[in-house]
Chain A
């Protein structure tokens, strides 16, 4: 085919100005794909026409723009990150758009748009999942901090209580020294003279073996009275209320305590 003859035949100008028949246009479009020279000639003439017409364009009345913008007001979209909003509904009231959606070209664009949207959506999913994980982790960390703080708070409160008891001048202090053979062991009873509440502070006692527990006794008129078990407590442990006593002693008993003290397991004792 003689491409130059074709280009010079006037068909290019006829096509660009919209005067070619459907067959002529289809033929030219097919040839333009095959011969870059034809495409170039089309572009060159189109650009010639565009600049010629644009040169002496006539400004329409100023209010016309606003009028058109108002007419299209409902059709503008918020700026998006997506290239083509595939989910934008095609208004059924516009027949032209319904036709458009049935053309294969439109489907291609919609398919491409849908794919892009899917990818973008997947990206967002990942992004938000990532965010969610990170926030979730942060939340866990905060929760742990909160628990730690609560533990510290509890510890602080009991230590504060211990300090209060130590400083309280109304407390009767009974120091219990180690019995014979256990001279190094020490525990102290703080006996509130107002309320008769008894507190005990373990200065030094061996770790109670498994299944055993230390028990505090008040010796009232020569008879032992259970004053409570020494459990896990920070600082001072609050024991039972003992209205009167002449002596306090600590024995090692089976876990849960005994009715009567096992005297050969006495560790410390002190007279009031």
Chain B
């Protein structure tokens, strides 16, 4: 077996995960947990709950690796979407989003009872939202970080669906331009 210190290609890693190899999982965790944790924290700022989400995410990745289709995209993209969905589910199940909807969308959030929480504005994609045009920020917040469908947003903001779609796409193009090296 290859040494754990080896760098796996994505294909090798996926193959070994499908073989249910512990060291492949360990490698996956070591190499991706930081990035995925920041995805969780950009949506669920409570550290303790974020830990639960991250655990759930890695277990999901492990158990659903057979469903990952490399022809459709990168492993990270697949894992990132699992992470985003799991985080949004957690937020919704804990009723977090009601509180969040009432605050300034990109405001720093501190846990009201004073437990360890994260300034989510500095994390992952969220830190980039500041740099977006004003009219795009709330759209990205609602769509990406809170997981509303474009149809829901259209009703929520009373904007035609076509406009929501066009603006969201424009917002994401701007996002791409911001992160382009």
**B133 at the binding interface (Cβ < 8 Å):** no
Report if A79-B80 is in contact (Cβ < 8 Å); known contacts: A50-B35, A94-B63, A106-B67.
no
Tell me the interface secondary structure of chain B in the complex: helix
Given known pairs A19-B144, A53-B39, A57-B35, the reply for A83 and B19 (CB within 8 Å) is yes
Q: How far is the CB of A10 from chain B (nearest CB, A)?
A: 3
Question: Which chain A residues border B176 with CB–CB below 8 Å?
Answer: 13, 45, 48
A197 to B21, CA, bound (A): 80
| Given A58-B38, A64-B55, also A85-B19 (CB < 8 A) | yes
Q: Taking the complex as formed, is B29 at the interface, i.e. its CB lies under 8 A from any CB of chain A?
A: yes
Q: Give Cα distance in the complex from A256 to B176, angstroms.
A: 112
> When the two chains form their complex, are residues A53 and B15 in contact, meaning their CB atoms are under 8 A apart?
no
Number of A-B contacts (CB under 8 A): 151
- Select one of B30, B77, B168, B173 contacting A49, CB under 8 A: B77
Asked whether B59 is an interface residue with its Cβ less than 8 Å from the other chain, the reply is yes
Per-residue contact bits, chain A 176-207, to B (CB 8 Å; 1 contact, 0 not): 00000000000000000000000000000000
Partner of B69, one of A65, A72, A105: A105
Q: Kindly list chain B residues whose C-beta atoms are within 8 Å of the C-beta of A9.
A: 169
Decide: B74 and A43 in contact? CB cutoff 8 A: yes
Q: How far is the CA of A97 from the CA of B80 in the complex (A)?
A: 20
Docked-complex contact A18 and B85, CB < 8 angstroms: yes
Q: Is A42 an interface residue, CB under 8 A from the partner?
A: yes
Q: Does residue B149 face the partner (Cβ distance < 8 Å to A)?
A: yes
